[in-house]
């Protein structure tokens, strides 16, 4: 196991920092209502508004959307425990497990490597169905994650044996009858402190 960065990696990191590569040592905010905060806000997880290296079931835009999962056996309590165990087996550090009356929630961190920093990964299991919505975001913004968050989540899903949920996305075609890179996917998620207010206004 490699325990320290090579000289080339350190030199590369030093060259990237002046170019807008943000320090990944700072943990994301908790207990706030901003769209990119960690935690459950009004029964949802955050979006990826303003973040490049991020996936969320609550962000419909290309490159950021990830479909929810569904588990087909056992109780929600069982699913929460299975999910936490799978995260640990995959090398993640489970930071929080909640199994309350309204929802189950698992928050974990993964170490991406010397140049990749820490990724924050969240799973929300609402009460009353077998759906799992998720969000994964790199703390270090400014570098592409090269698909590592998507690969990690897919590996977790396969490890659990759960299925993705088919989603009809709010696609608005620019060329009328065919899909194109210019298509849009609904409104851009809010980024400011009025996130909770914006959610209420949409209801």
- Per-residue pLDDT band for 34 (boundaries 50, 70, 90) equals low
> What per-residue confidence (pLDDT) applies to 112?
75
> When comparing pLDDT for 148 and 169, which is higher?
148
**Domain range annotation of the chain:** 28-187
- Asked if the model's pLDDT at residue 198 lies above 60, the reply is no
- Per-residue pLDDT band for 181 (boundaries 50, 70, 90) equals low
pTM of the full structure:
0.71
Residues 6+ apart with CB under 8 A from 123: 83, 105, 106, 107, 132, 133, 134
Residues facing 98 on adjacent strands: 105
Tokens of 166: 């088919």
> What per-residue confidence (pLDDT) applies to 195?
38
pLDDT in tens, 74-120: 899 999 999 999 999 999 999 999 999 899 999 999 997 667 789 99
51 vs 125: CA distance, rounded Å: 24
13 vs 93: CA distance, rounded Å: 24
Max mean pLDDT among 49-63, 131-145, 152-166 falls in 152-166
71 vs 49: CA distance, rounded Å: 28
Identify the residue whose tokens are 């088919």: 166
What mean pLDDT do residues 116-133 have?
A: 93
Out of 3.90.550.10, 3.40.50.720, 3.30.160.110, 2.40.160.40, the CATH code matching 28-187 is: 3.30.160.110
Label residue 25 exposed, middle or buried (CB < 10 Å: 0-12, 13-18, 19+): exposed
Please report, rounded to a whole number, the percentage of residues in the chain having pLDDT higher than 90: 42
């Amino acid at each position: 196991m490699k325990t320290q960065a090579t000289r080339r990696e350190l030199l590369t990191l030093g060259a990237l920092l002046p170019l807008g590569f943000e320090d990944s040592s700072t943990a994301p905010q908790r207990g706030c209502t901003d769209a990119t905060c960690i935690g459950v806000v009004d029964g949802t997880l955050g979006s990826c508004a303003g973040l490049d290296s991020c996936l969320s079931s609550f962000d419909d835009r290309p490159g950021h959307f990830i479909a929810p999962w569904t588990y087909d056996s056992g109780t929600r309590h069982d699913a929460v425990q299975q999910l936490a165990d799978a995260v640990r087996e995959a090398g993640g550090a489970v930071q929080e497990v909640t199994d309350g009356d309204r929802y189950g929630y698992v928050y974990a961190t993964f170490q991406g490597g010397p140049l990749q920093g820490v990724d924050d990964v969240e799973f929300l299991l609402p009460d009353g169905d077998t759906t799992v919505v998720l969000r994964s975001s790199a703390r270090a913004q400014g570098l592409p994650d090269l698909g590592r968050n998507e690969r990690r989540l897919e590996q977790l899903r396969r490890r659990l044996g759960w299925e993705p949920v088919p989603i009809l996305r709010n696609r608005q075609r620019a060329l009328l009858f065919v899909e194109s890179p210019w298509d849009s996917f609904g409104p851009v998620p809010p980024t400011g402190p009025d996130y909770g207010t914006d959610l209420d206004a949409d209801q």
